[in-house]
Amino acid sequence: MSNRNGIKYYLKWLFCFLSTGLIKNSASLFLIIGFLLPGRVNFSKSLLVGSNQYFKTIKSALSAANNGDTILVYTGVYNEHSLLVNKAVKIIGIERPILTGENKYEIMKIKSNNVLVRGFLFKDTGLNFIYDNAAIKLDSVKYCTIEENKFTNNFFGIYLSRSSNCVVINNELEAFHTKETYSGNGIHLWQCREMIIKNNKIKGHRDGIYFEFVKKSEIESNISYSNLRYGLHFMFSDSCRYFHNYFTKNGAGVAVMFTKNVDMSNNIFEYNWGGAAYGLLLKDISDSKIVRNQFIKNTCAIYFEGCNRVTTLENNFLENGSAIRLMANSMDNLFTRNNFIGNSFDVNTNSTRSYNTFESNYWSEYKGYDLNKDGIGDIPFRPVKLFSFIIEQNRPALILMRSLFVDILNVAENIFPSLTPKTLIDSKPKMTKYL
């Protein structure tokens, strides 16, 4: 409610008390004024910043502002750095004003709850490995929102630490460093909880999105591409969800490590190629779900190491080098109702034993038959080829791939299995792919 409407409301009620004779003395009058005024009259104000406005700098407007005020910053270039926001204010850019760190400094640090920053271009923060300079850094805050900003050529883009219940939405971040050691992360969270990271585009950073010690947070509908290392790097962050994201052409794909109770659903992992690149790398993950994702043309779609009780359900694995690399220390995992189509290797493993379950998947490599027409193959499918087992022990052997010798080895092993895991089979292979 604006100031004017609030005062009208207050005067209306005051007139009612006067006209009905309910106010008998001055003490009663002051008591009613004290009751009505704080709840109904909003004394927040707007402070205008610009070359033709009262405030010429954002820093001066922040000094004059009170909690609840709005700072409107008009278009222009503001060579201000180390801006400290320690009041609950809204800072809104008009026609995309530019805040620059002049390749030396951090730009903005938020130390108050209930802050909104919208509509700016943040650029050129300084490189600093001690203080992790960021375009916007939020430290020990709650209920803050960073939305509809652009970030270019920054060390770290948006950095949140020891914070909760914040939203980072509809931002675009791009960096141009060519080495991981000289690049920070696009959106970086450390020791946070109940955060929402949504509808952001991140390109060219070390890691597009980085979570460490983050709890009960969501990563939704982001596009993270062409980052130097991971599109998403996720460690020690239990009970989080990431869904409807698009990860493509990142140096090493996506990594989720040392975490439990993660929900990974409806994401696309595409074109992550390289000797150490993965669509999704899982290390020491437990009690988690991988559901309805698309893994398309990655060197390795999913790598499992030390993972337990992970359900991989209704995913599409299309034209990857390896669809699943399953290490011997991963157990009690379930793979069901997935489509494996056109992969060089459907499953790789380094063990002759398997304590995982493959059931009711579609395999384009399956050559069996279905005499009773129930849609399920009458003979089990062994997804581990002898050659895939060999290359897990000796990677240079890949040079023999597609050779006649390798085809003969695989056929012989399929008929008389001796080296591949006897228990790693799909006993109910689907004859047609899942739609």
What confidence score (pLDDT) does residue 126 get? 87
What confidence score (pLDDT) does residue 275 get? 80
Write out the two tokens for 259: 């975490």
Residue 342, Cβ density class (10 Å: 0-12 exposed, 13-18 middle, ≥19 buried)? middle
Q: Is pLDDT of 41 > 60?
A: no
Quick check: helix, strand or coil at residue 113?
Answer: coil
Q: Is pLDDT of 374 > 90?
A: yes
Q: Is pLDDT of 9 > 50?
A: no
What confidence score (pLDDT) does residue 192 get? 98
Identify the weakest region by mean pLDDT among 92-101, 402-411, 426-435. Answer: 402-411
Q: Is pLDDT of 30 > 70?
A: no
Q: Give tens-digit pLDDT for 100-114.
A: 999 999 999 999 999
Which helix (H) or strand (E) segment holds residue 316: the answer is strand 316-318
The arithmetic mean of pLDDT across residues 405-409, rounded, is 65
Q: Give exposure, 236-269, as e/b (b: 16+ Cβ within 10 Å).
A: ebbebebbebbbbbbbbbbbbbebbbbebbebbb
Q: Is pLDDT of 227 > 70?
A: yes
Q: Which band of pLDDT confidence, cut at 50, 70 and 90, is reported for residue 388?
A: low
Q: Give tens-digit pLDDT for 44-65.
A: 899 999 999 999 999 999 999 9
Strand boundaries in 51-110, DSSP class E = 70-73, 77-78, 83-85, 90-93, 98-100, 108-110
The arithmetic mean of pLDDT across residues 250-258, rounded, is 94
Residue 106 phi, psi (nearest 5): -75, 150
pTM for the model: 0.86
Q: Give tens-digit pLDDT for 160-170.
A: 999 999 999 99
CA 379 to chain centre: 41
Q: Which band of pLDDT confidence, cut at 50, 70 and 90, is reported for residue 24?
A: low
Rounded to an integer, what distance in angstroms lies between the CA atom of residue 235 and that of residue 434? Answer: 32
What confidence score (pLDDT) does residue 399 get? 67
Rounded to an integer, what distance in angstroms lies between the CA atom of residue 22 and that of residue 171? Answer: 55
Strand boundaries in 134-229, DSSP class E = 134-139, 145-147, 150-152, 156-161, 167-169, 172-174, 187-190, 196-198, 201-203, 209-212, 218-220, 223-225
User: Which of 229, 260, 259 lies closest to 247, judged by CA?
Assistant: 229
Identify the weakest region by mean pLDDT among 133-142, 226-235, 266-275, 346-355. Answer: 346-355
Q: What is the residue-wise DSSP string for 378-399? A: SS-B----HHHHHHHH-GGGGG
Strand 308-313 with 278-291, pairing:
parallel
Q: Is pLDDT of 1 > 50?
A: no
**Residue labelled with tokens 């190629």:** 273
Determine contact, residues 209/224, Cβ cutoff 8 Å: yes
Q: Is pLDDT of 25 > 70?
A: no
Q: Which band of pLDDT confidence, cut at 50, 70 and 90, is reported for residue 210?
A: very high
Rounded to an integer, what distance in angstroms lies between the CA atom of residue 245 and that of residue 266? Answer: 7
Rounded to an integer, what distance in angstroms lies between the CA atom of residue 209 and that of residue 10? Answer: 49
The set of residues, in sequence order, having a beta carbon less than 8 Å from that of 327 and lying 6+ positions away, is: 303, 304, 305, 306, 349, 350, 351
Identify the weakest region by mean pLDDT among 183-197, 210-224, 253-267, 375-389. Answer: 375-389
What confidence score (pLDDT) does residue 7 get? 46
CA 256 to chain centre: 11
Q: Give tens-digit pLDDT for 325-341.
A: 999 999 999 999 999 99
What confidence score (pLDDT) does residue 420 get? 63
Rounded to an integer, what distance in angstroms lies between the CA atom of residue 342 and that of residue 336? Answer: 18
Q: State the chain's mean pLDDT as an integer.
A: 88
End-to-end CA distance of the chain: 52
Q: Which band of pLDDT confidence, cut at 50, 70 and 90, is reported for residue 386?
A: confident
